[in-house]
Structure 1
Amino acid sequence: MKLIYVFDAYCGWSHGFSPTLREMAARHPGLDVEVVSGGLFTGSRRVPIREFGYVRGANAQIAQLTGAEFGEAYERLTADGSFVMDSQAAARGFAALRRAAPARAVELATALQHAFYVDGLSLSDPATYRKIAERAGLDADLVVAAYEGAEAGSAAEADFARAAALGVDAFPTLLAADGEGATVLARGRAGAQDVERRLAAFASTRSF
């Protein structure tokens, strides 16, 4: 059995779910966690943030319900509404980080969201991945080179296809899966206790 976490680095609800994800990973260190980028802002949705008038109100709700931090640097970055959230670039960056440290995918996914929502760093800027890599003790030059290489683009597209194949169209979504099937443990907001209860119920139905 493993967990599959489908998120988008530019999704505020995914940012709010980060503590639950980290807690579940800490509670079950022997359980593999596959982390997949979902591709929320791609194609025609890759436009200035002002086009999404609900974002500011949604962020306030996310902060209230989950305790998630939206930093002053993030507010400055997005204040005039011209910033473009490009999920393809963010997925390439996550793919580069994941490639450098596959076993730390949960940590790196949440670090990516912290870089945007707290530190106000663009996830389309190679310098952002250099900072994240340095903070994580990874080879920053290799991470940046991977972000800029063709393989990261292919990995991002593979992630989007994986999310679609899983039937995930809302972020974040956390699933438990084994060879017999999968079940949704969380979609959107959920605390660790609720996720734990659903995981236990799923595990109790499996044959080992």
Structure 2
Amino acid sequence: MNTSTLHYVFDPLCGWCYAAAPLVQAGRAVPGLAITLHGGGMMTGPNRRTITPQWRDYVLPHDRRIAQLTAQPFGEAYFEGLLRDTKAVMDSEPPTTAILAAETLGGRGLDLLQRLQRAHYVEGRRIADAAVLRELAADIGLDSSAFAAAFEAHAGEPTRGHVAASRALLSRMGGGGFPSFALARGDGGLDRIDASPFLGRPEAWQQHLVQAAGQA
């Protein structure tokens, strides 16, 4: 069977990536389609931030829109816990490192991303904390020692290099932000796929990917 590759540029703290999570799951069920993850580092370096009332007021309308559009769940622990904790740090780098580590452990990056999103948006967990990341990796069945070693190997410069490469890919794709998807063509080119019309419609997205992969 021929294998096509869908490139997915994401961020673990991106609400619209959470909106697209059912689309990613639907894509995983397309025969012969491999999904390659690219963490874009939305909240890394100088873009890291702590929660503020202003930030809560900014994200709440987006979150309500995502829930309305996609039926993705949001928890009270997120709305009334995490979003009111002015000591909580929003930092994409540690969870991106964790996803890279999980990907080296049997290709479990997408599984961990899904778990991280649920932990953040439903359970109100602090997914920038190393201890929380270890717990979530264990939740999906990853060996604790193997995950710790892989996390250490990817921490720091390897993750920052991955983010830089992801941003370069995003530019090459013509993507406007997160989430962005592109299907690799046989000639090495990339065909960007706009996921926004498919939010809340994973079956239609899946059919679209089947057709697009067949033409790539």
- Superposed pair shares fold, TM > 0.5: yes
1:199 pairs with 2:202: no
8 Å contact 1:8–1:172 — kept in the other structure?
yes
1:143 to 135, 143, 147: 147
1:131 to 126, 129, 135: 135
Where does residue 42 of structure 2 map in the other structure?
40
Q: 1:137 to 1:200 in 2, by over 3 A?
A: closer
Counterparts of 1:96-135 in structure 2, within 5 Å, are 96-102=101-107, 104-135=108-139
1:84 pairs with 2:89: yes
8 Å contact 1:94–1:112 — kept in the other structure?
no
CA drift at 1:198: 4.1
1:102-121 deviations in Å (ceiling 9; x for gaps) = 2x332222112112111221
In structure 1, the residue corresponding to 2:191 is in which secondary structure?
A: strand
Aligned residues: percent identity? Answer: 33
1:54 to 42, 58, 76: 58
CA drift at 1:42: 1.9
1:163 pairs with 2:170: no
CA drift at 1:61: 0.8
Give unmatched runs, 5+ long, in structure 2: none
| Cα distance in 2 for residues equivalent to 1:105 and 1:17 | 16
In structure 1, the residue corresponding to 2:194 is in which secondary structure?
A: strand
CA drift at 1:194: 4.2
RMSD of aligned C-alpha atoms? 2.2
2:11 to 8, 11, 15: 8
Q: Normalising by the residue count of structure 1, what TM-score does the alignment of the two structures yield?
A: 0.85
1:185 to 183, 193, 208: 193
1:4-61 deviations in Å (ceiling 9; x for gaps) = 11111001111111111101111x1432110111111123321223253411111111
In structure 2, the residue corresponding to 1:69 is in which secondary structure?
A: coil
Moved segments of 4+, more than 6 Å: none
Where does residue 67 of structure 1 map in the other structure?
71
Q: 1:154 to 1:101 in 2, by over 3 A?
A: farther
In structure 2, the residue corresponding to 1:54 is in which secondary structure?
A: helix
8 Å contact 2:94–2:155 — kept in the other structure?
no
| Cα distance in 2 for residues equivalent to 1:83 and 1:143 | 24
8 Å contact 1:69–1:117 — kept in the other structure?
yes
| Cα distance in 2 for residues equivalent to 1:85 and 1:45 | 9
Equivalent pairs, count: 203
8 Å contact 2:26–2:206 — kept in the other structure?
no
CA drift at 1:205: 4.0
Q: 1:110 to 1:155 in 2, by over 3 A?
A: farther
